[in-house]
A and B are shown apart, each in its own frame.
Chain A
Amino acid sequence: MNVYVIVAAFLAASVEFVEALTIVLAVGTVRGFRPAMRGTFWAVLALAALILILGEGVLRIVPIDVLRGIIGALLLLFGLKWLRKAVLRFSGKKSLHDEQQAYAKEIQRLQQSRGDAFEAQATAFNGVFLEGLEVVVIVLTMGAGANAYPSAILGALVGLVVVVSLGVALRAPLAKVPENVMKFVVGVMLTSFGTFWAGESMGVHWPLAEGTILLLIIGYLLISAVLVSMLKKKVATA
C-alpha cells in the first residue's frame, strides 16, 4: 500500500463526492430520494466501469516508463489547475466554495424546472458522473504512476463511504467539511506527484528517490503560501 496515494485519492475523492452529494440531496429534497439514488447508482457504476476498462487496458498496452511520463504530465496539469484556484481563493481573488450556497442554488433551479422523475434521475446522474470524473482521473493517474491501483481505489472508496455515510446521517450538505483547505492540499499533492513522475520518466535524478515527493510537497506549499500572502497584500492595497 502506498500512503501518499491513499491520502491524495481520499482527499480528492472526498472533495468531489461532497460536491456530488449536494446535487443528490437537492434532487432528493425537491423530487424525492428514489430517482436521486437511482441516478447516483448508475453514475457510480459507470465510473467504476471506466476505471476498470481504462485502468486495465492502459496498463496492458503502454509500457510503465512511457505511461509514467504521460501520467506525470497530465497529473501536473491537473494538479496545477487545482492549486491555481486554491491560491486565488485563499488570497481573496476568487470566492471560497460554499456548499450551502451551491445547495440553495440547485434547489432553486430544480423548483423552477417542472421536470419528471426521469429528469431528476438524470440530474443526479450528471452531478455524480461529472464530479466523479475527476476522481477517475486521479485514481487512474495515481494508480498507474505509482503502480498502486489498490491504494488509489482504496483511498477513493473510503472517501465515498465517509461522505455518503455523513450525508445519509445528516441529510444536509456537508458545509462544515474544510473543502477549500482539502482542495489546496490535493492541488499541492497532485502537482508534486506529477513533477516527480514526469521527471523520473525523463531520467531526472531525484536526490531522495521517492522521498523527494515530500520535498516537492513542502516546496509547492511554501511557494503557494508566499503567493497567497503577496496577493492578499495586493488586494488590501487595491
Chain B
Amino acid sequence: MKWVQEVWGLFVDEPIMALLAVVSLGIGLLLSKIGLNSIAGLAMFLVIAIAIGISVHRDA
C-alpha cells in the first residue's frame, strides 16, 4: 500500500484544500448543468481561491 500513499501524496498534502477543490468542481458542474455555464467558471475560481486562503490560514 506504500505506493498508494506515494501517489496520494503526489496530489494531496492538505485534505481540506483538496476537498474544497473537488467541491469547486462539483459547483462548476452543477451550474453548467442548470444552464449557468457563463458564471460557473467564476464560481469555481472563487471557491478555489477560498480553499487556498483557508488552507494557508490553518497553517499560520
Chain B interface residues (CB < 8 Å from chain A): 10-14, 17-18, 21-22, 25, 28-29, 31-33, 37-38, 40-41, 44-45, 48-49, 51-53, 55-57, 59-60
Contacts and interface: CB of A to CB of B under 8 A. Distances in A.
B25 A202 contact: yes
B44 A84 contact: no
Do most interface residues of chain B lie in helix, strand or loop, or is the interface mixed?
A: helix
Contacts of B28: 198-199, 202, 204
A199 B44 contact: yes
Interface string A199-214: 1001111110000100
A204 B37 contact: yes
Given A205-B40, A227-B52, A76 B21 contact: yes
A64 interface: no
Interface stretch (A31-39, A55-63, A85-93, A112-120): A85-93
A133 B6 CA distance: 11
A18 interface: no
A77 B55 contact: no
B22 to A, nearest CB: 7
B40 A223 contact: no
Interface of A: 73-74, 76-78, 80-81, 83-85, 87-88, 91, 93-94, 133-134, 137, 191, 195, 198-199, 202-207, 212, 216, 219-220, 223-224, 227, 231, 234-235
Contact of B60 (A76, A85, A231): A231
Nearest to B10: A137
Given A78-B11, A204-B40, A204-B41, A84 B29 contact: no
Contacts of A85: 13
A208 to B, nearest CB: 11
Given A202-B40, A203-B33, A203-B37, A219 B25 contact: no
B39 to A, nearest CB: 9
B56 A80 contact: no
A76 B53 CA distance: 15
A204 B55 contact: no
Contacts of B10: 78, 133-134, 137
Contact of B45 (A81, A91, A202, A219): A219
B17 A80 contact: yes
Contacts of B56: 84, 87-88, 91, 93, 227, 231
A224 to B, nearest CB: 7
A59 to B, nearest CB: 20
B32 A202 contact: yes
A203 B17 CA distance: 23
